[in-house]
Amino acid sequence: MYIVFEGIDGCGKSTQIELLKEKLPNVVVTKEPGGTDFGVKARELLLHSEIRSAKAELLLFLADRAEHYTEVVEPNLKNTLISDRGFLSGIAYAMSSNFDLNFLIELNKFTLNNNLPDKIVLFEITEDELINRVGQREQDKIESRGFDYLLNIQKNMKKVADIMNLDYLLIDATDSIENIHSKIIEYISN
Ligand code: ADP
């Protein structure tokens, strides 16, 4: 089973993935970008270098996704595979560069050999809580685009999940860590 945790930075994905690892020691955990050797280099370029072309940025994310699919997702489809981010983030970020949505969906399906995640845990955070959490830590290039930008990405993620009719669990990121953990366990056990 391929499960993706989606949500903007600071919404609590890694906190919940760590808790799941303790509870379910057999899960395989990965992330995008950065879950492969190529991905580590792509992540470095994406988050810390100047890329002027939105197309170049998109294609680098997609290259990372295709490599991650071949190297990590496909070999683990029989395991419980949990990824910190995936194609939903990819589409949501690219939408802010005004690419056609159907084109983005097709490109992302192409990188995944048409195998979309079985389940998605989608975190939603309020503006106040986002400022409270992300404002306190060092920001990478994408985070530094500002809170309105990030909140717009968040809106896009839910919009795409609805348009694509995806199976997702919506998490109120301001809920307690324990409550969120219980909801996730229930969702992925079904
Ligand atoms: P992400 O992986 O989505 O960027 P993190 O798991 O790193 O988010 O969480 C960001 C910050 O918010 C961390 O300092 C973490 O301790 C805190 N945090 C995570 N979940 C909650 C929660 N439910 N309530 C309050 N703080 C939280």
pLDDT of residue 134: 83
Q: How far is the CA of 74 from the centre of ligand 1 (A)?
A: 29
Tell me how far apart the terminal alpha carbons of the chain are, to the nearest angstrom. 12
Could you tell me which of 169, 154, 140 has the C-alpha nearest to residue 34?
A: 140
Residue 50 φ/ψ, nearest 5 degrees: -85, 115
CATH architecture of 2-189: 3-Layer(aba) Sandwich (3.40)
The mean per-residue pLDDT over the stretch 40-44 comes to 93
Residue 142 pLDDT greater than 90, yes or no: no
R_g over Cα of the chain:
16
In 89-140, beta strands by DSSP E: 119-124
The answer on pLDDT for 145 being more than 90 is no
* CB 11 less than 6 A from any atom of ligand 1: yes
What spacing in Å lies between the alpha carbon of 99 and ligand 1's midpoint? Answer: 31
Question: Is the per-residue pLDDT at 139 higher than 70?
Answer: no
Are residues 169 and 110 in contact, defined by beta-carbon separation less than 8 angstroms? no
Alpha carbons 108 and 110: distance in angstroms, whole number: 5
What local confidence, expressed as pLDDT, does residue 141 receive?
61
Residue 84 is predicted with a pLDDT of: 97
The confidence band for 116, taking pLDDT boundaries of 50, 70 and 90, is very high
What is the distance between the alpha carbons of residues 31 and 172, in angstroms, rounded to a whole number? Answer: 22
Of 112-121, 139-148, 162-171, the one with minimum mean pLDDT is: 139-148
Mean pLDDT along residues 119-125: 98
% of residues, the chain, pLDDT over 70: 95
pLDDT at 54 over 90: yes
Choosing from 15, 29, 175 the residue with most ligand 1 atoms within 8 A of its CB, the one to mutate for a pocket test is: 15
pLDDT at 95 over 90: yes
Task: Please report the pLDDT score of residue 136 as a whole number.
Answer: 64
The pLDDT assigned to 47 comes to 86
Instruction: Decide: residue 46, CB within 10 A, 0-12 exposed, 13-18 middle, 19+ buried.
Output: buried
* pLDDT of res. 146: 83
d(CA 164, CA 162) in angstroms, rounded, equals: 5
Q: Which of 4, 63, 3, 2 is nearest to 36 (CA)?
A: 63
Task: Give the Cα separation of 90 and 32 in Å (integer).
Answer: 9
Are the C-beta atoms of residues 147 and 130 closer than 8 Å to each other?
yes
Q: Domain boundaries in the chain?
A: 2-189
pLDDT at position 5 over 70: yes
